Amino acid sequence: MSGMQPLLHDLAIALRAPTVVLSGRDGQLRPAGTQGVLHGDLRVLGEAVVTVNGREAEPIGFAEPGADRGEFTGLLRGIGDPGPDPTVWLRRHRTAGPRGMYEELELASSASAPVRCAVELTLSADFAPIEEIKGGDSREALPPVLDGSGVLWESGGLTSRVVAEGAEFSLQDGKVVARWTVDAPTRLHWSVSVTDEAPLFVPGAPVLATPEVRADDRRFAGFLNRSLADLTGLLLAEREHPDDVFAGAGAPWYLTLFGRDSLWAARLLLPVSVDLAAGTLRTLARSQGRKHDPATGEAPGKILHERRRADFKLRGMSLPAWYYGTVDATALWVCLLHDAWRWGLAEERVRELLPNLRAALTWITELADTDGDGFAEYLDETGRGLANQGWKDSRDAVRFADGRRAEPPVALSEVQGYQHEAVVRAADLLTALGEPADGLTDWAADLRTRFREKFWVNGFPALALDGAKTPVDALTSNIGHLLGTGLVDEAESATIAGHLLGPDLAAGYGLRTMSSTMDGYAPLSYHCGSVWPHDTAIVVNALSRAGHGPAAARLGAQLLTAAEAFGYRMPELYAGFSADDSPIPLPYGASCRPQAWSAASAVVLLQTFLGLQVDVPAGTITLSPPPSPIGAFEVRDLPVGNGTLSLALAADGSIRDLVLPQGFRQVP
């Protein structure tokens, strides 16, 4: 439907960043919705429809055996031997690559004699940018150019070329048709390749470890393995810095650098990759703000929100290609630097980033509070940017308990937690490196006092303060992000944990973004009632860090239940219906899949079920596993420092076997 964001929950997706292929589950790429081959925020092929003897195959099954692969099978009834049993069928074997897509068409046959078939592949391309696709708009196909070896389309310095081995190409009604006349059984091959004169990003080298995991609950290994494969498919790097790998946020809407998303993904994935953290930190450090610019949201020391190949314009919103409209990425960058150091980022690498750390701390302690009330807040000065600039960034995301929207400037509760943790962790890091950390602990102490005085309402922290400094009193998942940041004390943490585990928030498939008791709650709202796996994973990790391991494990088990329903390819978000409302979690139809920080939730579950914390500089490993929701399990070759950790756990959480990396000791 024109003007509405197209749904994609039921599409088949093959991905190897910066390319993503979206088709129907029959394998066809039709000129509608989100379908097509997308590369670097442009749809470089919008149609690839196969027919045999003038008819489409009747689909009977599809699979996504890997992040970059799709397998489709359809029947060709009426071709081959007479009788009720099909004797000819079509299989499409698809592989996405960083510069396009390759596909094999397998005409399979059990017929008694060779079957003559006319196979046609109809093609078109429109080079629509991602924001037009997301907005539900359509545009006319570009004129194709037949050049003897295939067909190509060109626009804006980018070329898309289709080659089909042995096919004859022709133009029909403005589209291209590649035609083979063959006898089944046979195999045919075609591909689309992209040449981009100035790509922002190139494929990232694999940097994620793949520890061996076995558990009584076999779902867990399936979830972890699929997530790591999807994450590898999302890896990107700047062309000028190919070794600095980061995770693109998600396919198809956000397959690019996003400060908050890429930082959280790297942080949640530290148990399987310090290199990803290092690449993410360095990439974002190179674009760290240097000046005040209301048009882009840039400020000295501020970390970038997103970077695209061109300006992003959608429904009255106009974001520049380099956009800094985020209130939390700067603190998250600091937290990642500290945590990466704890997990083994080499000291010389950390020291290289100290100027960026100092600049980020200046923004946090001096510039983030724009109105002098002692809290970090945001306000879109242009009227064309993001109205909300925390992770819940939709226009209606910040609501009071009665459903009213908060007026800006808005100070989010979790952002105060991130800021507090960033400053405290930075002080620890600087002190350990023999660098001055004057005033940081005092600043954090003052923030704790102010927060306790202004944010607590009705027995829990408010979602935010609005422009009038009124507490936005809705009960939301945001409060879970405060755990482990040091901003709340032990008793307050216990109170927050009690709210989080209630059935109004933790309803069976993860943590709702808003309590079902609030007037603004809706299970299909983007940020006011849906479930975001990364949000649940952050809270699971925070509960564990705050000493609530059993509660963390119980909440994490809800994510595993949801992951199974989505074939272990965890989407960006899904509907907030409870397990009593629906026997399976229901999709949010326009959700990205895969999404980096959602996939990273599998690693969070691994860390939580192990009760694992690592301090490489101190040479210590902490293991405090809770009773296991996945039964007995074992982990082999989990990277720690220059070695690996292996262990086996009983279902009650007791350690049955433990092999520490050389030079490390276990601490309580």
Q: Look up residue 494 and give its two tokens.
A: 């216990």
Q: Give the 3-state secondary structure of residue 294.
A: coil
Mean pLDDT of 183-209: 92
Share of the chain above pLDDT 70, in %: 99
The residue among 629, 638, 631, 628 whose CA lies nearest residue 658 is 638
pLDDT, tens digit, for every residue of 40-88? 999 999 999 999 999 999 999 999 999 999 999 999 999 999 999 999 9
199 pLDDT above the threshold of 90: no
Q: Look up residue 272 and give its two tokens.
A: 């399987």
Residue 6 carries which DSSP code?
P
Cα–Cα distance for residue pair 57/333, rounded to 1 Å:
50
Mean pLDDT of 490-495: 97
pLDDT, tens digit, for every residue of 406-441? 999 999 999 999 999 999 999 999 999 999 999 999
Q: Look up residue 535 and give its two tokens.
A: 């949000």
Cα–Cα distance for residue pair 314/311, rounded to 1 Å:
10
pLDDT, tens digit, for every residue of 353-400? 999 999 999 999 999 999 999 999 999 999 999 999 999 999 999 999
Cα–Cα distance for residue pair 460/140, rounded to 1 Å:
53
530 pLDDT above the threshold of 50: yes
Average pLDDT in the chain:
96
The residue among 516, 417, 536 whose CA lies nearest residue 474 is 516
Confidence of residue 198 (pLDDT cuts 50, 70, 90): low
| pLDDT the model gives residue 255 | 96
1 pLDDT above the threshold of 70: no
2 pLDDT above the threshold of 70: no
Q: Report pTM.
A: 0.97
| pLDDT the model gives residue 668 | 83
pLDDT, tens digit, for every residue of 257-278? 999 999 999 999 999 999 999 9
295 pLDDT above the threshold of 50: yes
| pLDDT the model gives residue 8 | 95
C-alpha distance across the termini of the chain, in Å:
58
For residue 403, is it left (φ>0), alpha (ψ between -120 and 50) or beta?
left
469 pLDDT above the threshold of 90: yes
106 pLDDT above the threshold of 60: yes
Phi, psi of 530 (to 5 degrees): -75, 175
Hey, where are the domains in the chain?
Answer: 12-196, 201-627+640-645
Asked whether 512 and 456 are in contact (CB, 8 A), the reply is no
Class in CATH terms, 12-196: mainly beta
Asked whether 26 and 56 are in contact (CB, 8 A), the reply is yes
User: Which residue carries 């940097």 as its tokens?
Assistant: 207
Mean pLDDT of 470-497: 97
Phi, psi of 309 (to 5 degrees): -75, -20
Q: Look up residue 455 and give its two tokens.
A: 């944010």
Cα–Cα distance for residue pair 237/201, rounded to 1 Å:
5
The fold for domain 201-627+640-645 equals Glycosyltransferase (1.50.10)
Residue 57 carries which DSSP code?
-
Q: Which residues are 102's β-sheet partners?
A: 95, 191
User: Which residue carries 């720690």 as its tokens?
Assistant: 640
Cα–Cα distance for residue pair 572/555, rounded to 1 Å:
18
Mean pLDDT of 473-495: 97
Asked whether 472 and 406 are in contact (CB, 8 A), the reply is yes
pLDDT, tens digit, for every residue of 114-164? 999 999 999 999 999 999 999 999 899 999 999 888 999 998 889 999 999
Type of residue numbered 570: M
Mean pLDDT of 452-465: 97
